[in-house]
Every structure is written in structure tokens, then in C-alpha cells.
Amino acid sequence: MKWTRTPQILAKISDQKLQAWASDLNAKWKSLGRKIRDDVRTHPMFYSQIYVPYPLMVPGGRFIEYYYWDSYWVIEGLLLSEMAVTAKGMIQNFLYLVERYGHIPNGGRVYYLRRSQPPFLTLMMDAYLAHANDTEFLRENIHLLEVEYEFWQRNRSVSLTVGDRNHTLNYYSVQIGEPRPESYSKDWELVTDLNEDARQELWAELKSAAESGWDFSSRWFLSWPPPLPAKLKDTKARAVVPVDLNAFLCKTEHLLASFYRILGNTTKAAQFQAALERRLEAVQAVLWNEAAGVWLDFNLLKKQPNPAFYPSNLAPLWTDCFSDQAAAERAVQYLEGSTVLSYKNGLPTSLARTGEQWDLPNAWPPLQHMVIAGLAKSSSLRAKEIAFALAQNWVRTNFALYKKYQAMFEKYNVDGDGKPGTGGEYQVQVGACTEMLQCLQGQDVCLQSLTRQGGCAFLMGGGPLFCLQRGGPLFCLQTNCWAGS
């Protein structure tokens, strides 16, 4: 792997302390790189690893193998760090897995083969192509992007009727029971008072929730909304049509249509454009909630939307999975009408305190990015302002804890003065590559957004992280720091 000591992103950070921090984070790539031995390929019966041919980055901490959806942000970080060859290699690894298995497993162990994770392969390709004009790489592999898309359409789709219209959307659905090998004892302890059928049912639900990447969360509990009591045994992930999964597939369809147009295949382009238009209609009909002014997960058992807050409710803003341009303004009203913006350490994953790691009080980097980037690119000035404020809060939280612990964490606690996240099945992990580069990316996204508006963009030690000139007096995105209109 070719590591770059001083990627250009560092020059965009004027504050010396923050620049030094970013440089420290960039240096951590050297400890996170892995190459799977060829003996794993020639003697797979001796290993739990799944072989892939190219070098890769692992998340860090206890996670010493690659994971699917984490790798999207890893690749974005690698590209920001000018390690495009390594980023391409990771994409080639995933293409190799699609060619071999027909889908991308949850992670790089054989016990993950029967479930996937959120489909980001096509988005990874798009991120890479934005940095490298490698049309030939796309041409050689676009059929594998389509194979993965078809896996989700064939194995993870559900039909719903709204009015007189039938719609097809996607959900997480693993149809095999038995305990998860990676959490075998915990899964057995959970079902001691259940009969055999109920055990198998719950184990399949746990695997389906794990496929979402949100393992575990009140989002998958049948008992909702909070404060109704709910626990892990209430997991019914296969009953949920998730907003974010369908937003990701919406983006996949848009990109596949665009890719085929670039390659001159108008027939395929028209096919995926039609698929995109069908999904846009389905997302609007099934997941958009006019009363709430946002998209909401739909529960198939209750036949109604889940009204609870999750950052994933805003995922369509990030993937452009909407037709009504007023959606961003409605999303701002939705955020400002809740309590979620009152948390200064990050956007909470939910407002339910269940003890699970994908709930309050934790904030997760991928969710911060989706919401911030979705708001920042909208035409709404207020949405942009909220995006900048959220980005500032997130960078500040990460930097403060890095100074204290000399480490980055996979999740952060939004309560109080800020501390590492908590809850779930394991202790919070240190050195997570995804989260580390999310800070670099968060800074870069905001700087780019400010630059596009013709504003100033700079970092100040002890002061506002981001400032914007809006054609008048300077105002800064920090609490009690407004000096203009």
C-alpha cells in the first residue's frame, strides 16, 4: 500500500493543532493495513477468514477483518488521503466476492456468508471514479455491480399496496436460524425460556438486524414508539421496510443508469432509470409521512410507520431519493421540532434508552455524515446552517476526546461533556478506521461546501470551527456566536 504523508486535505486546515491531529489520523493507516495470506486461498478449510486478493484496511480494535458497509467510509477516507490504489484494491476485493458468492458477505469471515450488509458497492465505485477517470475499470466490472443489485432485488424485496398501486421496496431478511457464531453464547442465553420454533425465529431476526449494520437498536423492536418497554427479544427486523436501505438502492439505481449512459449502453441505462423512477414513487407512497414531514420506516406487522426519530429517516436527502424539492425544508422543520439538535456532542442515533449501542446516548459517524452531507447540499440556507453546526459539533467532540485519550472511537456519547460510546454486546472500540477518517471527511465536506458558496472557511483554535460569509456581515456557526443577519 502506498501511503501519502501529506495529503492535500491537510493544507485546508489552517489551525495548527487541528492540522496536527489530522496528520496523526492520516498516519494511522499504516497500522490498519492488511493483506490476506495466499494460504487462506489454497487451504480455506484451515481458516475462518474469507480470502480476497488485494490489500485492505480493517476498522481496528477487535475488528481485525474487513466489514462491508464500514468500508464505504474507509474508501472515502483513503481517497481523501490520496491512497487511491488501496481504495481501488478494496473495491476489487468486493467485486471478487460478488463474482464468487453472488453478494458481499457481512464481513470477512466464513460465518458471515449467509448475510450481507447495506449495499454500498456501487457507491464505492462512484466515489473512486470521482477521484480517478478510470472508465475502463467501470466497463470491466459494471456487470458485477448489477449482480449485487440483483441479489437485493431477488432476495430482499417485498411488495406493498398503497391505494390501488403496488410497490416493491427492500428490507433486511436472513432466513436462517441458529445462533450467530460470532455471538454464540449470547444468542443462547437470550432464548433459554423459548421453545425451539421461537428460538429459530428470534435468531433469524437477530441476523437480519445484524445485516442492517444497526446491531442492535429499538428500530427493530416490535414495541415502539418509546417509552413503551422493549428489549432485544422484541427484535422483528424482517418486519421493517427501512428508509435508509431503500435510499441506498435508490442511489444505486441512479448510478447504474448514469454508468451505463457513460458506457454508451442506452438500453441498460433506460432499464435502471425506470427502476429508479419506480422506487422514487414507492418511497414517496410508502415511506414519506406528510404529517411528520420526513420519511419513516414502515412496519409490515403493524401496517403503519414507526414515528420514532432515527438519523436514517433523513437518508433520502443524502442519496437524492426524492422528487419534491421542498423535502429539505420539511426535514429542517422535522429536526427543529424534535430535541435532537440540543445534543452538542453529535446527533443521537435515537431517543430511546434501551442499552443497545444503536440507540441513545450513542452517536455513530456514518449517520452524522449522511445527515450533514444531505443537509449541506440542499438548496435550503437553514439546512446548510444546521449541517455546518452539526459538523462543527462532531469535529469538536472527536478532537476533545482524542486529546484526552489519544484515540478515536467507533461511537461517542452525546450526553454531558462527551465521552466514548457505550452499550451493546462489547466494549467501545478504539482506533476504528471508519470513524477516524470520518472526521477528516467531515472537515473536508464542510470546507468544500463553504467554498462553493463563496464564503470564508477556516479553523480557529478555541473559537468557531467553521465560518461563512453570506453576502453580508460574517456569522459563525457556534452557539451564541451570531454577529450578522
DSSP alpha helices (H): ranges in 309-412?
Answer: 315-319, 327-336, 365-376, 381-405
Task: Report the share of the chain in percent with pLDDT over 90.
Answer: 75
How many whole angstroms separate alpha carbon 409 and alpha carbon 172? 27
Q: Say if residues 420 and 435 touch (Cβ distance below 8 Å).
A: no
How many whole angstroms separate alpha carbon 217 and alpha carbon 412? 16
Assess whether pLDDT exceeds 50 at residue 478. Answer: no
Residue 98's contacts (CB-CB under 8 Å, 6 or more residues apart) are 104, 121, 144, 147, 148
CA atoms within 13 A on the CB side of 103: 21
Q: Is 284 helix (H, G, I), strand (E, B) or coil?
A: helix
Sign of CA dihedral 207, 211, 214, 220: negative
Q: What digits encode the pLDDT tens for the residues 133-146?
A: 899 999 999 999 99
Catalytic residue among 148, 205, 297, 410: 410
Tell me if residue 215 is catalytic: yes
Task: Please compute the mean of the pLDDT values over residues 205-219 and round it to a whole number.
Answer: 97
Angle between helix 121-131 and helix 84-101 axes, rounded to 10 deg? 150
CA dihedral 78, 250, 213, 110 (to 10 degrees): -80
CA dihedral 52, 64, 191, 363 (to 10 degrees): -110
Q: Cα–Cα distances in Å, from 375 out to 126, 311, 320, 383, 411?
A: 20, 12, 11, 5, 21
pLDDT range class, residue 350, cuts 50, 70, 90: very high
**pLDDT at position 26, please?**
92
pLDDT range class, residue 328, cuts 50, 70, 90: confident
Which cell is 394 given? 462532531
Please give the single-letter amino acid code of residue 327: A
Q: What digits encode the pLDDT tens for the residues 385-440?
A: 999 999 999 999 999 999 999 888 889 999 988 888 877 555 555 654 444 454 55
Going through 27-185 in order, the beta strands assigned E by DSSP cover 33-34, 56-57, 157-162, 165-170
What is the residue-averaged pLDDT of the chain?
A: 87
Q: Which of 113, 2, 125, 133 is nearest to 49 (CA)?
A: 113
Tell me if residue 329 is catalytic: no
Which cell is 221 given? 423492536
| Lowest-confidence segment of 113-122, 366-375, 446-455 by average pLDDT | 446-455
Residues, the chain: 485
CA atoms within 13 A on the CB side of 167: 23
Catalytic residue among 126, 187, 205, 215: 215
Q: Which residue has the higher pLDDT, 195 or 59?
A: 195
CA 167 to chain centre: 25
**pLDDT at position 423, please?**
74
Q: Say if residues 480 and 473 touch (Cβ distance below 8 Å).
A: no
Q: Say if residues 171 and 156 touch (Cβ distance below 8 Å).
A: yes
Q: What is the pTM of this model?
A: 0.90
Q: Say if residues 437 and 76 touch (Cβ distance below 8 Å).
A: yes
Q: What digits encode the pLDDT tens for the residues 182-191?
A: 999 999 999 9
Assess whether pLDDT exceeds 80 at residue 39. Answer: yes
Q: What digits encode the pLDDT tens for the residues 168-185?
A: 999 999 999 999 999 999
